[in-house]
Amino acid sequence: MIDARRLRILRAVADHRTVTAAAAALYLTPSAVSQQLAALEQETGHRLVERGARGARLTAAGEILLSHTNLVLAQLERAEAELADYSAGIAGTVTVAAFATGIGLVLAPALTELARTAPGIRVKVQDAEGDASVPMVLDRQVDVAVAVEYRGAPAEDDRRLTRVPLYSEPFDAVLPVGHRLAGQAQVAVADLAKDPWIGPYPGNPCHDVVVLACEYAGFAPRLDHSSDDFHAVVALAGADAGVALVPRSALRGMELTGVVVRPVEGSAPTRRVFAAVRQGAEGHPLIRPVLDAMEAVAVREAGLAARS
């Protein structure tokens, strides 16, 4: 009989591409992961993983087993949800990983709502960049992710995950007050081609949005300054260090000394924010109220843009 715990290890190896990375995500030693994979191969009678200089990859038999693994683990999540619902009372802890703006915009207000409607649910929040929280969900480090669409993100039909769209928002142009375009009502990205730029580091989903917006406008931005903190980005723009594109919600309540904020002309670059859980866990009686509360807040308070 196949051990479901070993299936989780197989999926972690497929996700992380090396035994060492999979072991770190699962809080196991590499030798323990290797032993469990060997046991799984003995259980199935097939070689499932091949290791090489570039890491570990699944064999054809491993890929077949992985397709069933996603279904099995989703069904186990549903079983846990139903058992939790059966038990008397709803009380427990839900861990949520979210990026800073998402925490402020939807998660923190949702906690206030939950304190009133579901006082038995304790939510633990972890600050994580918009591309880091989904892997944390898949690795069972957290229960819920508040994430941003990014290049390389799991597809919407990924059978490991269930998504709840929350909101989408445009990026605005942030210019020094003395900039030649500061007096315009809107700013075309193409008109900023020769300016120095300030933006997030590569790997941050917002970096991709900025670079793609510039590429669509026909140029590659000259990123002279990098920071993942939008307060720092705005401060640098205020010091006449360059121009930036910043998500609109990140500018809420921010001190905007020395800068002007202008909508982007035409089709503005946009980031789409969603919540994600492991497939099958969306009906868990602790997790469902958290998802519902965030979705309600996004509909009611995230009026900065239409939901995705």
CATH number of the domain within which 36 lies: 1.10.10.10
pLDDT score of 304: 42
Q: Domain with 246 in it: what CATH number?
A: 3.40.190.10
Contact between 189 and 197 under an 8 Å Cβ cutoff? The reply is no
SS3 sequence of 127-194: ECCCCCHHHHHHCCCCCEEEEECCCCCCCCCCCCEEEEEEEEEEEEEEEECCCCCCCCCCECHHHHCC
pLDDT score of 159: 87
Residue 305 has pLDDT above 50, yes or no: no
Quick: pLDDT tens for 23-54: 998 899 999 989 999 998 888 889 988 887 77
**Is the domain of 280 the same as that of 158?**
yes
Rounded to the nearest 5°, which phi and psi values hold at 180?
A: -60, -25
pLDDT score of 83: 76
Residue 70 has pLDDT above 90, yes or no: no
Residue 307 has pLDDT above 60, yes or no: no
Contact between 204 and 129 under an 8 Å Cβ cutoff? The reply is yes
pLDDT score of 289: 93
Mean pLDDT of 97-121: 92
**Is the domain of 153 the same as that of 231?**
no
Confidence of residue 306 (pLDDT cuts 50, 70, 90): very low
**Is the domain of 175 the same as that of 218?**
yes
Residue 148 has pLDDT above 50, yes or no: yes
> In the beta sheet, which residues pair with residue 124?
95
Contact between 31 and 9 under an 8 Å Cβ cutoff? The reply is no
**Is the domain of 172 the same as that of 264?**
yes
The residue among 31, 63, 81 that closes a domain is: 81
Mean pLDDT of 60-72: 89
**Is the domain of 137 the same as that of 283?**
yes
What single DSSP character describes residue 228?
S
Q: Count of domains in the chain? A: 3
Confidence of residue 79 (pLDDT cuts 50, 70, 90): confident
Confidence of residue 241 (pLDDT cuts 50, 70, 90): very high
The four Cα atoms 240, 244, 246, 250 give a dihedral, to 10 degrees, of -20
The residue among 81, 116, 147 that closes a domain is: 81
The set of residues, in sequence order, having a beta carbon less than 8 Å from that of 70 and lying 6+ positions away, is: 11, 159, 160, 279
**Is the domain of 256 the same as that of 175?**
yes
**Count of Cβ atoms closer than 10 Å to residue 248 Cβ:** 18
Q: Which of 22-36, 48-62, 100-114, 135-149 has the least mean pLDDT?
A: 48-62
**Is the domain of 185 the same as that of 256?**
yes
Pick from 153, 131, 133: nearest CA to 141: 133
**Is the domain of 276 the same as that of 250?**
no
**Is the domain of 50 the same as that of 176?**
no
pTM, two decimal places: 0.70
Q: Which domain holds residue 24?
A: 2-81
The residue among 81, 110, 127 that closes a domain is: 81
- The identity of residue 47, as a single letter, is R
**Is the domain of 180 the same as that of 139?**
no
Beta-sheet pairing, 244-247 with 144-148: unpaired
**Is the domain of 262 the same as that of 298?**
no
Q: Which of 7-11, 215-219, 281-285, 303-307 has the least mean pLDDT?
A: 303-307
**Is the domain of 173 the same as that of 93?**
no
pLDDT score of 261: 97
Residue 62 has pLDDT above 70, yes or no: yes
- In which region does residue 166 sit, left (phi positive, over 0), alpha (psi from -120 to 50) or beta (all else)? alpha
